[in-house]
Amino acid sequence: MRTRDEHKASVIREKAISMIVNEGFDGMSMQKLAKSAGVSPATLYIYYRNREDMLEQLYEFVQTAFANAALKEFDPTMNFEKGLWVQWKNRMRFIEECPHYFRFFEQFRNSPQINRSSIGMVAFKDNMHQFVSNAVKRGEIRKVEPEIFWSLAYGSFYSLLKFHLQQRTMMNPDFKVTDAKMKQLLNMVVKSLKP
Amino acid sequence: MTSLLTTVLVFRTNASLQTDKTTITALLGQHPEVAECSLDLEDVDRVLRVVSPSLAATQIIEIMNQKGFQCQELE
């Protein structure tokens, strides 16, 4: 008989995430994970039914962590420019604080064979949707297809962020994102979305 | 994750085929004191996982043995 232990659960979770980030999905097995987390394989089964169940639960955990970080001090009724800035800053902070969560997330997004639920994302999606439709209603931005909107409003930000994470680019051997650079990009994005 | 109040029992078994898995999960799944049951054939230990508020490990082992499967509690 075994009991659950929240601290142990989080150690296992962190180990699993970094193992997946470093070695890929195929590099993570229950036996290997048990060894690296310093627990017996039986302990892992207290928390997870099998490897697949574990991957799904990890994904859900990271997704919820992302959603909580993104919604911090955010209000969907905010003026578009201000709201988008809060989104960028929140996402930036999340990725800087938990870079392995971000990589894990990206890895998942690129593997269609894994089941993904999105229970943790309901509030997040709802907020994002409200935010955009409010801005359209107030005449701050024009109505475009969601993918076009995302490409401009967030795609631009993620491109800049990737340069920041790589720390150097083809044009610049030592690149760092600053608030001033983010603001510059934000202004251009806001301008491009005006009706 | 299932409720914190229930007990999770974990066993090493010699189940190896998909039909073994079907037999075992059907057998334990219909047991009134079993809340949840799964078998991981991908793991070297062919881990049987049973969530039950009341059953003891020895009772599960007995049920498995009766059906001709080896079953040992994992420590």
The tens digit of pLDDT for each residue in A153-165 reads: 999 999 999 888 8
Nearest to A1 among B9, B42, B45 (CB): B9
Could you report the per-residue pLDDT of B23-54, keeping only the tens digit for each? 999 999 999 999 999 999 988 899 999 999 99
Nearest to A50 among B9, B42, B74 (CB): B42
Question: How many pairs of residues across A and B have Cβ atoms under 8 Å apart?
Answer: 47
| pLDDT attached to residue B12 | 94
The β-bridge relationship of strands B47-52 and B7-13 is: antiparallel
Q: Which residues of A touch B7 (CB under 8 A)?
A: 1-3
- Residue contact B75–A51, C-beta within 8 A: no
Average pLDDT over all residues of chain A: 89
What's the whole-number mean pLDDT along residues A128-144? 96
What's the whole-number mean pLDDT along residues A120-138? 93
- Residue contact A51–B42, C-beta within 8 A: yes
Q: How many CB atoms lie within 10 A of CB B64?
A: 22
Q: How many CB atoms lie within 10 A of CB B70?
A: 13
| pLDDT attached to residue A113 | 59
Question: CA A44 to CA A34: how far, in whole Å?
Answer: 7
Q: Which of A123, A135, A153, A126 is nearest to A78 (CA)?
A: A135
| Long-range contacts of residues B50-55, Cβ cutoff 8 Å, at least 24 apart | B50/B8, B50/B9, B50/B10, B50/B11, B51/B2, B51/B6, B51/B7, B51/B8, B51/B9, B52/B6, B52/B7, B52/B9, B53/B5, B53/B6, B53/B7, B55/B9, B55/B31
Average pLDDT over all residues of chain B: 90
Whether A190 contacts A80, CB under 8 Å: yes
* B74: nearest CA partner in chain A: A42
| More confident: A167 or A28 | A28
- Percent of chain B residues past pLDDT 70, beyond the cut: 92
What's the whole-number mean pLDDT along residues A24-41? 88
Length of chain A (residues): 195
Write out the two tokens for A118: 């999105």
Question: Which pTM does this prediction carry?
Answer: 0.81
Predicted confidence band of residue A2 (pLDDT cuts 50, 70, 90): low
- Percent of chain A residues past pLDDT 90, beyond the cut: 60
Could you report the per-residue pLDDT of A59-94, keeping only the tens digit for each? 989 999 999 999 999 999 999 999 999 999 999 999
Nearest to A40 among B1, B42, B74 (CB): B74
Q: Does B74 touch chain A (CB under 8 A)?
A: yes
What's the whole-number mean pLDDT along residues A28-40? 89
Q: Which residues of B touch A42 (CB under 8 A)?
A: 10, 47, 74-75
What's the whole-number mean pLDDT along residues A18-32? 89
| pLDDT attached to residue B51 | 93
* A30: nearest CA partner in chain B: B43
* B3: nearest CA partner in chain A: A4
Predicted confidence band of residue A107 (pLDDT cuts 50, 70, 90): confident
Per-residue pLDDT at B3 exceeds 60: no
- Residue contact A45–B44, C-beta within 8 A: no
Mutate to test the interface with B, among A1, A13, A45 (most CBs of B within 10 A): A45
Per the listing, tokens 């409010």 go with: A134
